[in-house]
Amino acid sequence: MGSEKPVGPGKAAGSGKGVLPPERRRELLDTAMREFVRHGFGGASLNRIIRSCGMSKSSFYHYYASKEALFDAVVAGITGGLRDSVKVPAPEEFAVPGFWDAVARLSADLMRAAGRDRRLIDLWRLFYVSDAPVAEDGPLAQLKAGIDGWLGGVLAAGRAAGAIRDDMPPSLQSELTLAMLWTIDAWALKNLRDIDIAEGRRLAALQLDLLRRLLATP
């Protein structure tokens, strides 16, 4: 099934019946986010979401065409809200002699951003929602593709700077790097309740050390 998105922020999907007030939209998307994270996409109950928000089903369908459209709106809403609080350098900015210092700064910046804005953690959780919609034009798939492309660019910049090994195919290097990052992130998310600030910093340093061992020029 293709992804059906709302026409705009709170606007009825295909019905043209007005705009959901910002506070109500935020309540709906926050409630839906928690439901998707807790139960997965397939197990999430649309009835439970709209009942928690005091909406009727007919009112909901004035704004979103489906549960999939609601999931897409949750992802798009969090992503849009993070644009001002999370600044990620362009890949070419890493083509410098201090490549690994730049990577360490980005890691520290993301840690601080996650401490300031819980939406970054919320978005992180949505990456691991079981059976999430995977339509190529959906916001989650596009975000993942954007991250993959950005990482490929960073690795290319590191190779150009002589900081990253160039003795393996770039596509293999990207896949190995992504596999390591996703594995560590999935583990950290699963154990988030047991990770305090100090442990979070230690894990970030460990992740950086593992990346250097995998990628750095001998």
Tens of each residue's pLDDT in the chain, 218 residues:
333 333 334 443 333 345 788 999 999 999 999 999 999 999 999 999 999 999 999 999 989 999 999 999 999 999 988 887 788 999 999 999 999 999 999 999 988 888 888 888 888 888 888 788 888 888 999 999 999 999 999 999 999 999 999 999 999 999 999 999 999 988 988 888 888 888 888 999 999 999 999 999 98
Residue at 16 is within a domain? no
User: How many angstroms separate the Cα of 192 from the Cα of each of 28, 117, 124, 132, 205?
Assistant: 25, 16, 11, 21, 16
On whether both 126 and 208 belong to a single domain, the answer is yes
DSSP string, 6-44: -SSTTB-TTT---B--HHHHHHHHHHHHHHHHHHHHHH-
- Exposure class string for 75-94: b at 16+ Cβ within 10 A, else e: bbbbbebeeeebeeeebeeb
- Where does a domain end: 62, 82, 102? 82
Q: Is there a domain that residue 17 lies in?
A: no
- Please tell me the distance from the alpha carbon of residue 147 to that of residue 178, in angstroms, as a whole number: 10
76 and 130 together in one domain: no
Shared-domain flag, residues 36 and 117: no
Within a domain: residue 13? no
Domain count, the chain: 2
Q: Are residues 147 and 191 in the same domain?
A: yes
Residue 188 lies in a domain: yes
**Region of 135 on the Ramachandran plot (φ > 0 left; ψ -120 to 50 alpha; else beta):** beta
Residue 136 and residue 211 share a domain: yes
Domain of residue 77, residue span: 22-82
Whether 78 and 95 map to the same domain: the answer is no
Asked if 66 and 182 touch (Cβ cutoff 8 Å), the reply is no
Q: Are residue 50 and residue 153 in the same domain, yes or no? A: no
Q: Is residue 8 part of a domain?
A: no
pTM for the whole thing? 0.82
Side chain identity, residue 55: M
